Structure 1
Amino acid sequence: MDVLSELLDGVRARGALVRRTAIGRPWSLRFAAGAPLTLATMVRGRAWIVPADGEPVPVRTGDIAVIRGRAPYTVADDPATPPPRTVIDSADYCLRGGCAGETGEDGAGDVSGTGGGGADDSAVLLSGAYTGRGEISERLLHALPEVLVVPDAACHRELRDLVAEEAGGDRPGQRVMRDRLLDLLLLSTLRSWFDRSAAHAPPWYRALDDPAVGRALEVLHEEPARPWTVAALAAETGLSRAALARRFTARVGVPPMAYLASWRVDLAADLLRETDATVGSIARKVGYADTFALSTAFKRLRGVTPTGHRAKALTDDGG
């Protein structure tokens, strides 16, 4: 499995929260569902996403935006529109058995803007949120900016239209359909973004076009628990130890063993969040000799112990 496929492999929606909202201009909505990852697209009209930190990002009709992080953010017709009076939380989405507040067009949640515009000039926003435990790996979240946008021309339009269709009504099997379609739309969108955004993609992704460094990354991801050394890694690539260390550091931004330590801790973080396995068994699974070794690396790289990370993850996921 290639590195990007492995990164995307953990995407699994379980009871995805989906909402289609019609809004009259001027409008501004505050999203506070606490989801680690959300997709949003303008079915009609244009919008700006105003993240918790950073600059507003424009979204045109048909574009797909991916918003990372649990912090509340705003979607508005203009960054200068007054602060929102309406807050969208998890109760306002289409939940597992159907849609909450479906009074707008096509089963939409109908939210009036500050101007109360009519149907002819209303914008239509479609959003889908991942909220449950284990749906999105931390490895993927760490690879993404706070907000990314893939333009309409590069999006999978058929998938986007199917998600929009399934957002309304309450048909048999609809929960599963929403989950699978949202997964496919996210995967398609992220693959397009990685392909189009090499300058903004993580250094390890840009390094994949280097045969030697790409091979080194591949084997580290395939066998993270193997007792790697730079010499053993160099043997896999056909380079000398010194040559690989130089090329890897130049392309990825960190030395090979530092990258491996970060990858192991990322794997451990997901296992701590997604499973009930002991810290010791997780340590051995990702390549550390014991709990102490994993705890030392985890605290150094993340500033928290493995047990502290697990406790916070359970709180975030409502456990």
Structure 2
Amino acid sequence: MDVVAGLLDGPRARGAFLLRSHLTAPWGMRIEDESPLTIVPVLRGRAWLDPNETTTTGADDDGTSAAPSGTGGESGTWVEAGDVVLLRGPEHYVVADSPATRPTVVVGPNPQDCRAIDGGPSEMTTFGVRSWGNDPAGETVIVTGTYPLDGAVGRRILRLLPHRVVLRRGEIDGTVIDLLAREVVQDLPGQEAVLDRLLDLLLITCLRTWLDRPDAPGWYRAKADPAVRAALRLVHDDPARPWSVESLAREVGLSRAAFARRFTALVGEPPMAYLTGWRLDLAADLLLADDAATLAAVARAVGYTTPFALSAAFKRERGISPAEHRRRAA
């Protein structure tokens, strides 16, 4: 498994929230669902997206940014049909028909928690299966897909992504977007599983596209270094092996010092820190994938000699115990 395959093997949507919104101007929504990761493909029309929880004071009609009126560090941007946006939570954001439109609706963490900002009835209504908005014939149609748990998408992905990634029409294959757009309004046997897998596929497609951009993270350069690439493959393929800096350096034909220096420079963290993070990411996934798996079995699978050692590392790095991680997912 190469470094990119190891990263992309993380997404595992479980009961993801998906909604197709049909909107006629004027409309504006403040999103406070605080999901770890949200994917927003634009199917029709255009929308203004502001990461500062408030609309801007103005923007050129054909511009992609404007000075925000909020206090955040990023500007708003237009997104149009065929574009896809990745939004890393838990920060709130605003999506509207125009930078001049103030939000009138707040969407909270609960899928049913949609309310008017002024406390009155919401202008948004349900049209059918996973369809919602203020006009079923609206000129703007977007799909919102959210990963409700960071364990489902993998902390490694969340750590490397900026708060917002905008992929423009033509950068990614629209086939996956079209398929998700059709399936999101279906109500067939096994539909939740179908939608979960389609959301994973769209995310992976977006991540692959982003990794080919010049602004991709520095560790992605590791694929061009044979020694670091080989070390990553060893760690990914056999995480349970008792690796050390010395043993990895020996496997790739470098001195300990040279290997540690090159690995840290390219990947962004020392070899053992990367190994620990990889093992704990795998453990988090295994704990959710099989409810019957014991902590001891998971510990052995990811390279910890005892369940106590895994539990201590898990709590130290993630702030919760493996048992609590399972309870939260449930």
- Normalised-by-shorter TM-score class: 0.7 to 0.9
Distance 1:222-1:28 versus aligned 2 partners, 3 A rule:
same
Equivalents in 1 of 2:82, 2:12: separation in Å?
24
Match of 1:83 among 68, 81, 103: 103
Return the TM-score normalized by structure 2: 0.76
Distance 1:206-1:212 versus aligned 2 partners, 3 A rule:
same
In the TM superposition, what is the alpha-carbon distance from 1:221 to its structure 2 partner? 1.3
In the TM superposition, what is the alpha-carbon distance from 1:11 to its structure 2 partner? 2.8
Aligned to 1:311: 324
3-state SS of the aligned residue for 1:48?
strand
Equivalents in 1 of 2:74, 2:211: separation in Å?
21
3-state SS of the aligned residue for 1:47?
strand
| Higher normalized helix content (fraction of residues) | 1
In the TM superposition, what is the alpha-carbon distance from 1:72 to its structure 2 partner? 4.3
Aligned to 2:38: 38
In the TM superposition, what is the alpha-carbon distance from 1:213 to its structure 2 partner? 0.9
Aligned to 2:66: none
The amino acid that maps onto 2:247 is: A
Q: Deviations over 1:163-213 (max 9, x none)?
A: 2222335456654543333232222111111122x5342x43232211111
Aligned to 1:260: 275
Equivalents in 1 of 2:190, 2:104: separation in Å?
35
Number of aligned residues: 298
1:138 aligns with 2:155: yes
Q: Can you give the 5+ residue segments of structure 1 that lack an aligned partner in the other structure?
A: 94-99, 113-117
CA RMSD of aligned residues (A): 3.2
Equivalents in 2 of 1:172, 1:293: separation in Å?
42
8 Å CA contact retained: 2:51, 2:93: yes
Equivalents in 2 of 1:225, 1:107: separation in Å?
42
Equivalents in 1 of 2:174, 2:262: separation in Å?
39
Aligned to 1:115: none
Equivalents in 2 of 1:133, 1:305: separation in Å?
13
Equivalents in 1 of 2:179, 2:132: separation in Å?
18
Distance 1:301-1:133 versus aligned 2 partners, 3 A rule:
closer
Return the TM-score normalized by structure 1: 0.79
Equivalents in 1 of 2:165, 2:271: separation in Å?
28
Match of 1:160 among 177, 183, 186: 177
Q: Can you give the 5+ residue segments of structure 2 that lack an aligned partner in the other structure?
A: 54-71, 115-124
Match of 1:215 among 230, 235, 243: 230
Equivalents in 2 of 1:107, 1:50: separation in Å?
25
Aligned to 1:225: 240
8 Å CA contact retained: 2:28, 2:103: yes
Match of 2:284 among 265, 269, 289: 269
Which is further off, 84-93 or 254-263? 84-93
Match of 1:148 among 134, 154, 165: 165
In the TM superposition, what is the alpha-carbon distance from 1:257 to its structure 2 partner? 1.8
1:111 aligns with 2:134: yes
Q: Deviations over 1:255-290 (max 9, x none)?
A: 212221222232233334444444444333222222
Aligned to 2:51: 50
Distance 1:227-1:172 versus aligned 2 partners, 3 A rule:
closer
